[in-house]
Amino acid sequence: MKLNVLVMSAGSIPGVAIIEALRNQNEVPVRLIGADMGRLSAGFLLADASHVVSGAHQSDFIPSILAICRQEQVHVIFPVIDEELQTFADHAPTFTAEGIRVITNPPELVRVAKDKSLTARRCAELGVLAPPTLLKDDLGRVPLPPFPLVVKPRDGRGTVGVHIVRDKHELDFFLDRVSNAMIQQFIEGAEFTIDVLTDFDGNLISLVPKQRLQVKAGMQVKGRTVKDPQLLAYGAEIVRKFGLVPRGNIQCIRAVDGSLYLIEINPKFPASLPFTLRAGVNGPLLLLKMHLGQKIAPMIGQFQENLVMMRVWRELYTHDQVS
């Protein structure tokens, strides 16, 4: 049976990575359909079919995706970027009713993960260590953590609007300029991400910790895989406590005293997905196998250790008549 797979945001780095992960394998026959908001999408050159769609905030988004699914006889949808995650999570039952699986985390988890203030609050409830956090409205009634501090949007992405502040003057300056701001204590230490894969019942399949050696605009451009027992145990704990199912990415910092602080949870494939694929864990393929009813045995720690990634630009070319 050939699976028709719809990859959203097909021109994004994770979107292209999903397409290539499924294209460059011969275990599950697939037909790949790319969807994006603009016709000049790199994923359109790599997919078998393509569709231009509206933004996830538009009222016609879900009906238009359903129409594409019916036209292309789609079996599985991979949502990709932040803006569409909540919409797909909330409407997953609509697609399920038509026999279409949406690769999504539970709606409540997506909501908590999107709001970094809610993530910090959930950490406190679950007993997960996170940087001390407060909102602008808390100033004056909640003690301010020691400087340096981080000012960032509660609903931000990457490093947009993220500022390290070292005194009260800088704090006031950036609080006036960052929309929907929150304040966290800055934690000095090495930063790691942990790619997560579970089955659809929440049973852990894979964890791939990666040290972030260099980051630009919130995206890992140099990194190294690490088989670190502390990080593997930590990843399993976060998956269990938060219900991070079936895929996701955990960002944490190991402080100088060895403690791990949760920075954020991302209920999606990260921009560093190509790195994880090269390390030996093809999450998109494994999810398709599980969709087909295959039982996947846990493969914790089964990836290439000390694999170093150095990201460079890649170009694709096509002929286009711009009007």
| Amino acid letter, residue 100 | I
Q: What region does 293 belong to: left with phi over 0, alpha with psi -120 to 50, or beta? A: left
Give whole-number Cα distances, 122 to 196, 244, 283, 292, in Å: 19, 13, 27, 34
Pair of tokens at residue 51: 């569709």
3-state DSSP percent of the chain in helix, strand and coil, to 5? 30, 25, 40
C-alpha triplet 227, 230, 233: angle, nearest 5°: 95
Residue 322: its pLDDT value, please? 53
User: Residue length, the chain?
Assistant: 323
Residue 108: its pLDDT value, please? 97
Residue 231: its pLDDT value, please? 98
**Nearest residue to 46 (alpha-carbon basis) of 76, 16, 8:** 16
Residue 276: its pLDDT value, please? 97
- The DSSP line for 50-72 is EEE---TTSTTHHHHHHHHHHHH
Residue 314: its pLDDT value, please? 83
Order of strands across the sheet with 163-165? 133-135, 181-185, 149-153, 163-165
Q: Tokens 């789609």 identify what position?
A: 74
Residue 26 CB neighbours (<10 A): 5
d(CA 4, CA 7): 10
Q: What domains appear along the chain, each with residue ranges and CATH number?
A: 3-103 (3.40.50.20), 132-185 (3.30.1490.20), 188-310 (3.30.470.20)
Render each residue's pLDDT in the chain as its tens digit; 323 residues: 899 999 999 999 999 999 999 999 999 999 999 999 999 999 999 999 999 999 999 999 999 999 999 999 999 999 999 999 999 999 999 999 999 999 999 999 999 999 999 999 999 999 999 999 999 888 888 889 999 999 999 987 777 889 999 999 999 999 999 989 999 999 999 999 999 999 999 999 999 999 999 988 778 899 999 999 999 999 999 999 999 999 999 999 999 999 999 999 999 999 999 999 999 999 999 999 999 999 999 999 999 999 999 999 888 898 876 54
Residue 321: its pLDDT value, please? 60
* CA quadruple 14, 20, 26, 28: dihedral sign: positive
